[in-house]
Amino acid sequence: MKNKLGIVGGGQLGRMLTFEAKKLGFYVAVLDPTPKSPAGQVADEQIVAGFKDEKAIKKLAKQSDFLTFEIELAGADILEEISEQGVMVNPSARSLNIIKDKLVQKQFLRKHHIPSADFAEVSYKGDLLEIAEDYGFPLVLKARFDAYDGRGNVLIKTKKDIDYGLQKLIGRKLYVEKFVPFKKELAVMVARNTKGQIEVYPVVETVHENNICHTVFAPARVNSYTAKKAEKLAKDVMTHLKGAGVFGIEMFLTRDNRVLINEIAPRVHNSGHYSLEACVTNQFEQHIRAVTGLPLGNTDLIVPAAVMINVLGQRTGAVEVYGMEKALAIPGVSVHIYGKKDTKIERKMGHITAIGKSIDMAWKKARSARRYISI
Ligand SMILES: Nc1ncnc2c1ncn2[C@@H]1O[C@H](COP(=O)(O)OP(=O)(O)O)[C@@H](O)[C@H]1O
Ligand SMILES: [Mg+2]
Q: What is the pLDDT of residues 19-33, one digit of tens each?
A: 999 999 999 999 999
Q: Is the CB of 208 under 6 A from ligand 1?
A: yes
Which residue from 252, 256, 149 is spatially nearest to 203, judged by alpha carbons? 252
| Candidate of 213, 258, 262 to mutate for ligand 1, largest count of ligand atoms within 8 Å of Cβ | 262
User: Alpha helix (H) ranges present in the chain?
Assistant: 12-23, 54-62, 76-84, 93-99, 102-111, 125-135, 161-168, 224-241, 275-278, 283-291, 324-328, 359-372
Q: Is the CB of 117 under 6 A from ligand 1?
A: yes
The proportion of the chain whose per-residue pLDDT surpasses 70, expressed as a percent, equals 99
Q: Tell me the pLDDT band of 80, cut-offs 50, 70 and 90.
A: confident
Q: Tell me the pLDDT band of 158, cut-offs 50, 70 and 90.
A: very high
Q: Can you say how many angstroms the Cα of residue 193 is from the centroid of all Cα atoms in its chain?
A: 18
Q: Is the pLDDT of residue 273 over 80?
A: yes
* Residue 149 · residue 212 · CB < 8 Å: yes
Q: Is the CB of 147 under 6 A from ligand 1?
A: yes
User: CA angle, 109 as apex, 103 and 110 as ends, to 5°?
Assistant: 90
Its pTM surpasses 0.75: yes
Q: Is the pLDDT of residue 74 over 60?
A: no
Q: Can you say how many angstroms the Cα of residue 309 is from the centroid of all Cα atoms in its chain?
A: 15
Q: 3-state DSSP call for residue 15? A: helix
Q: Is the CB of 262 under 6 A from ligand 1?
A: yes
If phi > 0 it is left, if psi is from -120 to 50 it is alpha, else beta; for residue 257 that is left
Which of ligand 1's atoms lies nearest the C-alpha of 180? 3
Ligand 1 centroid to residue 262 C-alpha, Å: 7
Is the omega angle on the peptide bond into residue 266 within 30 degrees of 0, that is, cis? no
Supply the pLDDT for residue 76.
66
Judged on CB neighbours under 10 Å (0-12, 13-18, 19+), 329 is exposed
Supply the pLDDT for residue 71.
82
Task: Please give the average per-residue pLDDT across 30-46, as a whole number.
Answer: 98
Task: Please give the average per-residue pLDDT across 134-146, as a whole number.
Answer: 95
Q: Tell me the pLDDT band of 73, cut-offs 50, 70 and 90.
A: low
Q: Is the CB of 141 under 6 A from ligand 1?
A: no
Which of ligand 1's atoms lies nearest the C-alpha of 177? 1
Q: Is the CB of 179 under 6 A from ligand 1?
A: yes
Which of ligand 1's atoms lies nearest the C-alpha of 138? 3
The 10s digit of each residue's pLDDT in 86-120 is: 899 999 888 988 999 999 999 999 999 999 999 99
What span, in angstroms and rounded, lies between the C-alpha atoms of 344 and 337?
14
* Residue 276 · residue 284 · CB < 8 Å: yes
Which of ligand 1's atoms lies nearest the C-alpha of 152? 22
**Judging by DSSP bridges, how do beta strands 119-122 and 174-178 pair with one another?**
antiparallel
Q: Is the pLDDT of residue 75 over 80?
A: no
Q: 177: which strand partners?
A: 119, 140
Among the listed ranges 29-38, 46-55, 64-73, 239-248, which one has the minimum average pLDDT value?
A: 64-73
The proportion of the chain whose per-residue pLDDT surpasses 90, expressed as a percent, equals 88
Ligand 1 centroid to residue 1 C-alpha, Å: 42
